[in-house]
Structure 1
């Protein structure tokens, strides 16, 4: 299943939103700043940043924060995600965030991975979380 193709204007808006969020991250312990942007079914973009605390690693991931702001705004469907992080490797969502994204996104939802200079990679949710368990598995049609 191929990813949904995003217009360049949407990709740029997601990247800029995630960059701004990354600058607001609170990471005094790891010093690893992450920003995320989620595009919802209404075309709105919601931002999140990682927030650590003294009970490290009991913090909040950027993707989880973006999903929370999306839900608070009344949205329930993720159409695209962009994550910004710095490092030699790709900064992809952690396993827990992949499952959180699965709650609101379809398998072909694009997940863009970027740094402060550019989008470095693009995956579908199915590529990051193959054969996943989602809300449809809990539907009781009896």
Structure 2
């Protein structure tokens, strides 16, 4: 199964009763397994969970700590990119060269790397000596 196919399938499980904007994400771990997540909204708006965060949490829960590839899909007029917080979450587990495929349900895609999505990412190396 491709990452985009996995993201498309899990998107259908999103809980988005307020925005009606369903998002699905899939990450391929360095172990080769695919981990998926969908957005889960909450009536207390800032308490929801992004699809990318859910996929990363599933990967970590399975014992994998490295992302090899990412796919995100939503029903928008153009491919939707991960939010700022999820870009930082991706950078925590993926190198700057890791490919991120963003897609619409209509089939339009855009590919970038984690480094292109989040240049100047904050890293643990910046905390050394603290």
**Same fold? TM cut 0.5:** yes
Q: How does 1:1-142 map to 2 (within 5 A)?
A: 13-118=2-107, 120-140=109-129
Distance in 1 of aligned mates of 2:101 and 2:86:
14
Q: Where in structure 1 are there 5+ consecutive unaligned residues?
A: 1-11
Measured after TM superposition, the shift of residue 135 of structure 1 is 2.4
TM-score (norm 1): 0.86
Q: CA RMSD in A?
A: 1.5
* Deviation larger for 80-89 or 63-72: 80-89
Measured after TM superposition, the shift of residue 134 of structure 1 is 1.4
Q: Deviations over 1:48-85 (max 9, x none)?
A: 00000110132000000000000000000001100001
Measured after TM superposition, the shift of residue 13 of structure 1 is 1.1
TM-score (norm 2): 0.94
Aligned length: 130
Measured after TM superposition, the shift of residue 90 of structure 1 is 2.2
Q: Where in structure 2 are there 5+ consecutive unaligned residues?
A: none
Measured after TM superposition, the shift of residue 100 of structure 1 is 0.5
Residues 92, 113 of structure 1: 8 Å contact kept: yes
Q: 1:114 to 1:82 in 2, by over 3 A?
A: same
Measured after TM superposition, the shift of residue 114 of structure 1 is 1.0
In the other structure, the counterpart of 1:7 is none
